[in-house]
Amino acid sequence: MAVRIHNFNPGPAALPLTVLEQTREAMEDFAGSGMSVAEISHRSPFFENVINQSIDRIRRLLNLNSDFKVLFLQGGASLQFSMIPMNLILPGSSADYINTGTWSTKAIKEIQILEKPYKVIACSEDRNFCYIPKEYTISEGAAYVHYTSNNTIKGTQWNSVPQARTSPLVSDMSSDIFSRPFDPSPFGLIYAGAQKNLGPAGVTLVIIREDMLARCPKNIPTMLRYTTHAEKNSLYNTPPCISIYMVSLVLKWIEETIGGLEAMGIRNRKKAEMLYDYLDKSDFYIGTADKDSRSLMNITFRLGSEELEKKFTSEATRNSLGGLKGHRSVGGCRASLYNAIEPESVKALIDFMKEFARVNG
Q: Do residues 248 and 50 make contact, with C-beta atoms less than 8 angstroms apart?
A: yes
172 part of the active site: yes
Which amino acid, one-letter code, is at 53? Q
Rounded Cα gap, residues 15 and 248, in angstroms = 12
Of 69, 116, 154, 196, the catalytic one is 196
67 part of the active site: no
Of 96, 103, 116, 176, the catalytic one is 103
Rounded Cα gap, residues 157 and 153, in angstroms = 11
253 part of the active site: no
Distance of CA 38 to the CA centre of its chain: 25
Of 116, 154, 172, 253, the catalytic one is 172
Known catalytic residues are 103, 172, 196
